[in-house]
Structure 1
Amino acid sequence: MDLDLRAPVGELTRCLVDVPSVSGDEAALADAVQAALGRIGGLRVERDGDAVVARTSLGLPSRIVLAGHLDTVPIADNLPSRVEGGRLYGCGTSDMKAGVAIALRLAATLPLTEPGALRHDITWICYDHEEVEAARNGLRRLAAQHRDWLDGDLAILMEPTSGEVEAGCQGTLRVIVRLGGRRAHSARSWLGDNAIHKAGALLQRLAAYEARSVTLDGCTYREGLSAVRVDGGVAGNVIPDACAVTVNFRFAPDRTPQAAVEHVREVLAGYECEVTDLSGGAPPGLAAAPAAAFVAATGRTPVAKYGWTDVARFAELGIPALNYGPGDPNLAHTREEYVELAAIDEGERLLRGYLTGALTA
């Protein structure tokens, strides 16, 4: 397919949405993005797997990275897209093809080869496999194999933030707590030891947990320790001898990943905890000059990012990073997902002004 990156940003968003790109099936969209960026003068375009990276080389004193993922969660009978009442509905509209559309349209319409027209060199990163386990994340792969492609003084993740600036992100870890017992016929339950019943005390401990709130750079991060899955049972007439409870801890970015693991093990003392997923958070990073300048240009008051995003990967590399995008995070992954067309227009206007210097503090 041919992508017209100069089309109005709402129309471009719709084109991106109507190319299905569930995690693992991003190739068609990545091909289209690569071809469209390759037709733009002043850009060096490179590809790794289904991640596409384009960069200017103007020799400017600073570089801004605009990054967004191409993949979506599984389609929920919400494609093709439709426009209704000033809203674009469809899978990936909010998370995060509207943000990607803004970035791509800027690539096609900014004066990339005009001396003095831009305040910063710019890198565009459109990557794959964000909506699945961290080991497959395309940005993680780029950081490992092409570290220099990610270089910048500030990274802006086009995550859905309802047009607000969301700083840093929470860390996340998951553990599985396995509970054992003894099988028996349910008609003679006293002969067994019910593993599912043993989960009751664990769940009560989690329900009584008092989560803390932490304020960093004026942004308040709330933690949470929650059971998110219970697996167990053999048959309708069998006392189960095994039960597994998956517990998720969302932790503030002042905790290191190891400290988060130690905290969970302390709270769940007496239970064996198998760590199955662990990603550190990202501090707000608002003191960094490029981040402060972006915040000032937007006129927004930064707030904490609830949830984990790839700003954490940039933070690990020492690159300040913020979340900013037109979508509503509360609509991400829902069947009724949509984005306000006016919000996409506003996001493009703001980023264009920041990158060209038309918007300053």
Structure 2
Amino acid sequence: MTKFLDLSKDVAELTADLIDIPSVSGHEKKIADVIEESLNRQAHLNVSRFGDAIVARTELGRSERVLLAGHLDTVPLPTASNARGTVPSRWSGETLYGRGATDMKGGVAVQLALTASLTHPQKDLTFVFYDHEEVEAAKSGLLRVATRARSLLTADLAVLLEPTNGYVEAGCNGTLRLRATAEGTAAHSARAWMGENAIHKLAGLLSALQQYEPAAVDVDGLAYREGLNAVGIGGGIAGNVIPDAAYVDINYRFAPDKTPDQAEEHVRQILAGYQLTRTDAAAGARPGLGTPAVQSLVTAVGGAAQPKYGWTDVARFAQMGIPAVNFGPGDALLAHTDDEHVLASEVRKCLGALLDWLT
């Protein structure tokens, strides 16, 4: 396997090289090894590693510091036999297919290209490449760095290169996961009246979720769309047994005007009477459009700032007191799809915009 990458090559081809290194969450060591070796060949960078998270910094004594971050992991590969968004990558004209093409190896390729291009930047730069973003927050490589070496993340602005179609997406929704459980009484299904069906007890909850009308919440001039959905269900042990236990997993994507506790209280009101247990939560981030550092990036890349509907690690940076935005190549609607892809022109345009801004 390749031991290091050619960071000076076309950034779209570099994206393909990254896709060709499988890195499903929990299996990021190979890609982290390659990126660490590639960064160690850049004499102007100080490189540190924390598990499979890597931090590379310039130390030029500039008055400002910009942090550019991206995660190395992808969701699992698609299972459909005709899926094109898998590994290895595949070109169709100027369209690059492969798992992570949009989420977010195109963004990581831009980061790596910037490390090679900006050897004497006008602002000091910090590059963060981290593992375990696509899974529960407790495993996050970014959290690991923040815990072990918080000073390495100090910056005037953090830019997360998640796919945004080339627009600045400010802030992000929060995310909350709850599990609803029901208990019944097991019985032979031929004598169902002797038991109590736990699955049936959750019918009203599913109906409430289906009828729920999500809000669009204005936060600092941006409309954040919310969502409340069942994302998993289970119960039953055999085809001839009335189930005595069942569950539904619920995900609430909430606007950044709420804390996780406020979001949980809202869901409990909607699903009153059901037994709910929080399994995961991450706060959102307000847009911060009044921050000078954010304004400078929005002005430089053009267009109006947009809201980020999904949760991203801009929220983690916001909790650290660092203004943060999303800005990266690709269409977020293609992330995690069977035909995940990115246009070569989108990756090149993102790199060009950031080079112009940073120089």
What's the TM-score, normalizing by structure 1?
0.94
What is the total number of aligned residue pairs between the two structures?
351
Please name the residue that 1:129 is paired with. Answer: 132
The answer for the alignment partner of 1:34 in structure 2 is 36
Aligned twin of 1:88: 96
Task: Give the drift of 1:209.
Answer: 2.3
1:246-257 to structure 2, matched below 5 A, reads 246-257=249-260
Task: Choose from 65, 68, 87 the match for 1:79.
Answer: 87
What do the CA deviations read for 1:127-157 (whole angstroms, capped 9, x no partner)? 1111111111100111111111111111110
Match of 1:70 in 2: 72
The Cα RMSD (Å) is: 1.2
- Structure 2 counterpart of 1:285, one-letter code: G
Give the aligned partner of residue 358 of structure 2.
Answer: 355
Cα deviation, 1:165-209, whole Å, max 9, x if unaligned, reads 111111111111111111111112122111111111111222232
Q: What is the rounded CA distance, in whole Å, between the counterparts of 2:254 and 2:154 in structure 1?
A: 27
Look up the SS of the partner of 1:65 in the other structure. strand
User: 2:252 aligned with 1:244, yes or no?
Assistant: no
Q: What residue in structure 1 maps to residue 112 of structure 2?
A: 104
2:169 paired residue among 160, 163, 166: 166
The aligned counterpart of 1:222 is 225
Aligned to 1:180: 183
- Deviating more after overlay: 210-219 vs 318-327: 210-219
Partner of 1:51: 53
Q: What letter corresponds to residue 12 of structure 1 in structure 2?
A: L
Q: Is the 8 A contact 2:160 2:326 kept in 1?
A: yes
Whether the 8 Å contact between 2:44 and 2:119 is mirrored in structure 1 is no
C-alpha distance after superposition, 1:227-263 (max 9, x if no partner)? 1111111211111111111111110001011111122
Which residue matches 1:147? 150
Give the distance between the partners of 1:110 and 1:83, measured in 2 at CA: 28
CA distance in 2, matches of 1:40, 1:202: 56
Alignment gaps of 5+ in structure 1: 113-117, 357-361
Match of 2:283 among 274, 280, 300: 280
In terms of mean alpha carbon deviation, does 180-189 or 275-284 score higher?
180-189
- Mapped partners of 1:249, 1:50: distance in 2: 29
Q: How far apart in 1 are the matches of 2:312 and 2:149? A: 20
Equivalent residue letter for 2:89: S
Q: Residue 231 of structure 1 aligns to a residue in which SS?
A: strand
Contact 2:173–2:254 (CA<8 Å) still a contact in 1? yes
The answer to whether the 8 A contact 2:226-2:309 is kept is no
Amino acid across the alignment from 2:92: E
CA–CA distance in structure 2, aligned partners of residues 31 and 40 of structure 1: 15
**Paired residue for 1:115?**
none
In structure 1, the partner of 2:211 is 208
Instruction: Work out the CA distance in 1 between the residues paired with 2:231 and 2:131.
Output: 26
Q: CA deviation at 1:2?
A: 2.2
What is the aligned-residue identity percentage?
Answer: 54
